[in-house]
Chains A and B, each alone.
Chain A
Amino acid sequence: MPFWSHKPRLHLSPSRHLAGLLLCLFLSPSLLAAELAEGLNLNGFYTLGAVYSDSSGASVATKADPRQVGQGELNLDSSLLGLQLDYAATDRLNFTLQAISSAQDDFDPRLEWAYLNYDLGNDYQLRAGEMKMSLLQGTELRYVGYSRLWARPLVTQSGASGFDDYTGFDLLKTTQLGDYNLTLQASYGRAEHHRDIVDNRDIKLLLGQIEKDGSWVKAALMHARYDVDTPTGRHLKDNATVYMASIETELWFNAWQINAGLAAGSADLAPDDQLAYLSLGYRFGDMTPYILGSRVRQRFDASEFRSLTPPPPPPMGPPPMGPPPAAPGLPDGTDTRDTLAIGLRYDLGSSYALKMQLEHWRSEQQSNPLSGPVKQQGNLFTLSIEGVF
């Protein structure tokens, strides 16, 4: 039965959601960024969005843990409002605070960025405070829908192996190489994981971006060390490591816009990730129709836990031939999710856009130890207004 014939079930918390949506509408697209006082500026971004799903298995996320969208559900959880306050204490020292308030959190605000930025001169910047990961998977602009062509973020759940935020230092340098602009970033700090059982020791990031006439290529590499406990407090592993790498590009050929990216991560006691996407859009005046394909793959290896679980008592008979079995009851195998979407971005004004996206997804889950391989598929329709001020 086609998805449009389902009668949608609405998921929202009426009073808080209504208040949040009214707030988004009140902050109309024509509201300009405000200079509140000398050196004090307020900017913001918002998404007023609805996602309809004709099956279960898809997710919507405006925080680290995504929420599954039910079959026939009309979900409004992707709506959010972000505010950023910048204070230029001097012409070199700047303070920034950014908070978001999302429908998924019942519009309870949370702090996303809080840092000092010091201009060292010669196009060097030093930042210190709480910042977001610059990797593709971390998607530092995940909540700023207006910044991207597509109606939904590429990664709906926490993508930098759960490390989206870190408290530490960034050193940034921009320079020109002929007609090309080069940006380099080195970051060091301690990251927050969205699971309490993971305690990060440190995180390091290196990033390089080269740009010319609006086309750019960006590559990033991240390494983190962490300790893992069980939910009951038993210590599982010290000094676990994760490596993640990504490369992304946006290329412009007249009105054609091509976006592509590849990312991979290898983590101890967590699935190894791979992500690839390719998008093609064409700008007709204020409208940009596009097509987007992506694949996300997670490989679970239960044998990583073999050395961590207590050995079974010795058997009565001779020892079994072959390798010992993987730890029972833990995910083991590869999960894959493919999506193909067509959509349209319509710039209604200079600072807000209407987006529509129809997405078909297919997933194959091989890692579930209880059910065996599971295949699912479905369709999502997204309609949103996104803007900045």
Chain B
Amino acid sequence: MRCLLLVFALWFSSVAKAELLVVVGEHSPIDKLTQKEVANLFLAKTKQVRDLGRVTTLELDSSQQKAEFYQKVASKGPAQINSYWTTLIFTGKGKPPKAFKEFQKLINELSTNPSAITYLPADRVTAKLKVVFTFP
């Protein structure tokens, strides 16, 4: 029985680590977002959240994490999301989120920019960040 519980706990923790959360800095005016609002922001369809002002989208330059996120918000695979960005970038009608190669630089930007928003795996969310959306 203890073995089963241990196996279950290990499995659950691995699932929890993979979960992506949409987060903002602790000083952000945003408290909660709907999935539609998250999709519209990260697909560059809007830069506004209701009456809370401009939002700047950021992301970590990790292909696995990006693939998982865009599959969840837009049901698009990597090639499809690249085709989507292509139509926006080369007509000047939108840009993908600002990409960061280093995790710490991303966190610093979130901490200093109240309009910044990003998505992170649950195990990388710190106490200085606020979770505004969790995928069902």
| Contacting pair B46 A117 (CB below 8 A) | no
A179 at the binding interface (Cβ < 8 Å): yes
Residue of A with least CB distance to B88: A147
Looking at the complex, which one of A132, A141, A179, A350 makes contact with B78 (CB distance below 8 Å)? Answer: A350
Interface residue? B90 (CB, 8 A): yes
User: Which chain A residues lie closer than 8 Å to B89 at the CB level?
Assistant: 43, 84
Pick out which of these stretches binds chain B: A10-18, A120-128, A356-364: A120-128
Structural contact, A96 and B92, CB atoms closer than 8 A = yes
With A172-B93, A350-B78 already in contact, the answer to whether A179 and B87 are too (CB < 8 A) is no
Q: A residues within 8 A CB of B84?
A: 214
**B32 interface hit (Cβ, 8 Å):** no
Whether B47 contacts A349 by the Cβ 8 Å rule is no
A350:B79 contact, CB within 8 angstroms: yes
Chain A residues engaging chain B, CB cutoff 8 angstroms: 35, 43, 45, 82, 84, 86, 91, 96, 98, 113, 115, 117, 119, 121-123, 125, 127, 131-132, 134, 140-141, 144, 146-147, 172, 174-176, 179, 181, 183, 211, 213-214, 286, 347, 349-351, 353, 388
User: Which residues in A have their C-beta under 8 angstroms from that of B95?
Assistant: 86
Residues of the A chain whose Cβ atoms lie less than 8 Å from the Cβ of B78: 350
Interface centre among B45, B46, B75, B86, by most chain A C-beta atoms within 10 angstroms, is: B86
* Given A141-B90, A146-B86, A183-B93; A214-B79 close (CB under 8 Å): no
Q: Are A181 and B91 in contact (CB under 8 A)?
A: no
CB distance from B74 to the nearest CB of A (A): 7
With CB as the reference atom, state the residue of chain A lying closest to B61: A32
B90 contacts A144, C-beta separation under 8 Å: yes
**Chain B residue nearest to A149 in the complex (CB):** B83
| A-B contacts, 15 listed (Cβ < 8 Å) | A43-B89, A84-B90, A123-B48, A127-B92, A146-B82, A146-B83, A146-B86, A172-B93, A174-B45, A181-B40, A214-B75, A347-B79, A349-B79, A350-B79, A388-B86
Min CB gap B35→A, angstroms? 11
In whole angstroms, what is the CA distance A35 to B101 when docked?
11
Choose one: B47, B63, B77, B82; the contact of A388 (CB below 8 Å). Answer: B82
Min Cβ gap A146→B in Å is: 6
Report the bound CA distance from A365 to B79 in whole Å.
Answer: 41
Whether B54 lies near A121 (C-beta < 8 A) is yes
In-complex Cβ contact of B90 among A45, A115, A350 (8 A): A45
- Per the CB 8 Å criterion, the residue count for chain B at the interface is 27
Query: Is residue B72 contacting chain A, with contact meaning CB distance below 8 A?
Result: no
Report chain A residues within 8 Å CB of B54. Answer: 121
What's the least CB distance linking B56 to chain A, in Å? 7
Tell whether, in the assembled complex, residue A119 and residue B47 are in contact, meaning their CB atoms are under 8 Å apart. Answer: yes
Contact check, B47 vs A147: say whether CB atoms are below 8 A apart.
no
Q: Which of B40, B63, B76, B86 contacts A144 (CB 8 A)?
A: B86
Most chain A CB atoms below 10 A, which of B89, B92, B99: B92
Given A214-B74, A353-B79, A388-B82: A176 touches B87 (CB 8 Å cut-off): no
Assuming the contacts A181-B40, A286-B79, asked whether A141 and B46 have C-beta atoms less than 8 A apart, the reply is no
Besides A144-B87, A146-B86, 10 other A-B contacts (C-beta < 8 A)? A43-B89, A98-B90, A115-B92, A119-B47, A144-B86, A147-B86, A175-B46, A176-B40, A211-B45, A353-B79
Q: Judge whether B87 and A147 touch: CB under 8 Å.
A: yes
Alpha-carbon distance between A179 and B36 when the two chains are bound, in angstroms = 8
Residues of chain B within 8 A of A96, CB atoms compared: 92
Q: Indicate which residue in B76, B79, B87, B99 contacts A141 across the interface (CB closer than 8 Å).
A: B87
- In the bound complex, residues from chain B placing their C-beta under 8 Å from that of A121 are 54
Inter-chain contact B86/A45, CB cutoff 8 Å: yes
Q: In the complex, which residues of chain B have a beta carbon less than 8 angstroms from the beta carbon of A115?
A: 92
Whether the Cβ atoms of B79 and A174 lie closer than 8 Å is: no
Choose one: B36, B46, B99; the contact of A123 (CB below 8 Å).
B46
Assembly CA distance A211 to B87 (angstroms): 14
Could you say which residues of chain B place their CB within 8 Å of the CB of A349? 79
| Bound Cα distance A132, B86 (Å) | 16
Taking CB atoms, residues of chain A closer than 8 Å to B76 are 214
| Residue in chain A with minimal CB distance to B79 | A347
* Least distance between B99 CB and chain A CB atoms (Å): 8
- State the Cβ distance, B91 to closest chain A Cβ, in Å: 5
Q: Indicate if the CB atoms of A91 and B56 lie closer than 8 Å.
A: yes
B47–A123 touching, CB < 8 Å: yes
Q: What are the interface flags for B14-44 relative to A under an 8 Å C-beta threshold, 1 for contact and 0 otherwise?
A: 0000000000000000000000100010000
Distance, CA A119 to CA B94, complexed state (A): 11
In chain B, residues 39-76, which have Cβ atoms closer than 8 Å to a Cβ of chain A?
A: 40, 45-48, 54, 56, 63, 74-76
Complex: chain A residue closest to B46, CB-CB: A123
Contact A117 B92 (CB under 8 A): yes
Q: What residue of chain B has the Cβ atom nearest to residue A127's Cβ?
A: B92
Which 6 A-B residue pairings sit nearest by Cβ, starting from the closest?
A350-B78, A347-B79, A147-B86, A181-B45, A144-B90, A351-B82
